[in-house]
Amino acid sequence: MVDKNSTPIGNSAEERNDRRQRERLAELTRLFKKDPAAFVQKVEQACPPGTKPATGLLDAAVVLAEQDEFKPALALLDRAAELYELEHDNAGLAHVYVNMGPLYGMLDQLEKGIEFSLKAEGLAKSLPADHEFTLHYASDLGGMYTEMEAWDKAMHYFQIACETANRMGNSEVEGDALLIMSQVAIAQGDAAKARELAEKGEIIGKRLKDTLFQARALQTMGDASALDGEYQQAIALFQQALDLEADQPSIELRQQLFWEMSESYEEIGKSELAEDYRSRAADLGETDEETDE
């Protein structure tokens, strides 16, 4: 926890004002559990001078979402949507919906999340092209459809995200989309497509000098080999991925690779090695839980 007494004072009036607004919002959020309606009303009344209430509510909701205060954020977005509808402001309404979608997703209300992200997509078609906005709803829909195991729809939206990131020159997001798509292809049972997408992601990873991107790409290539029954090749690829992961540690990826190594060793009849990697994966799971606590 940061000691607020040791936090440097903002250098500008704008920074100081922003800090005061955030502190005020934190105070009001404590009211949410007792009286959600009063909370929304007070946040609306506290909007900065010269800011439209709907915009102020949207801005406050974004701040709360960044602090994992999802339910209070949604309450503010509901009210912001009402105000934008009264104003017939489709651009404002679209930005409300594009924020509501992933928040419902975070609350495990995936169908509702998809509903609002699709509304954002629908409104975007009547508005000037905005790559950032497209990337927002496409990535969210891809992620939520993946959670629901609706693989074709997930692939469709991640493809949109990938193409949009490419047009924006955002190689990191483009590469990430390619690697997620490669895993979706594995889930679809399409080893050739998975390998093709992973190889494209690996090229971007090398260009960015990001060893974790490269490790994730090799992981999918290993999955594709296992899907084709080439378990020795899969093990070699998983090991290469582990070597790269060591340069940019990720407990989650390492655990996945250990599980996949154990499964491939099991398939070729090397039970002792399979058990060894299962044990390593389980140990990492326990370490991860302790870290979360």
Q: Tens-digit pLDDT profile for the chain (293 aa)?
A: 333 333 344 456 556 556 767 777 878 888 888 899 999 999 999 888 888 999 999 999 999 999 999 999 999 999 999 999 999 999 999 999 999 999 999 999 999 999 999 999 999 999 999 999 999 999 999 999 999 999 999 999 999 999 999 999 999 999 999 999 999 999 999 999 999 999 999 999 999 999 999 999 999 999 999 999 999 999 999 999 999 999 999 999 999 999 999 999 999 999 999 999 999 999 998 765 554 54
The helix-helix angle for 90-106 and 53-66 (nearest 10°) equals 20
Its domain, for residue 94, covers 33-121
Establish if 292 belongs to a structural domain: no
Establish if 197 belongs to a structural domain: no
For 48, which DSSP code?
P
Establish if 257 belongs to a structural domain: no
CB 273 within 8 A of CB 265: yes
What is the pLDDT of the chain when averaged over all its residues? 91
Rounded to 5°, angle at Cα 125 from 122 and 128:
140
Q: What pLDDT does residue 9 have?
A: 41
Task: Assign residue 114 the CATH number of its domain.
Answer: 1.25.40.10
CB 177 within 8 A of CB 157: no
The helix-helix angle for 211-227 and 231-245 (nearest 10°) equals 170
Q: Please count the structural domains in the chain.
A: 1
CB 218 within 8 A of CB 241: yes
Establish if 264 belongs to a structural domain: no
Establish if 54 belongs to a structural domain: yes
Establish if 116 belongs to a structural domain: yes
Establish if 66 belongs to a structural domain: yes
Establish if 44 belongs to a structural domain: yes
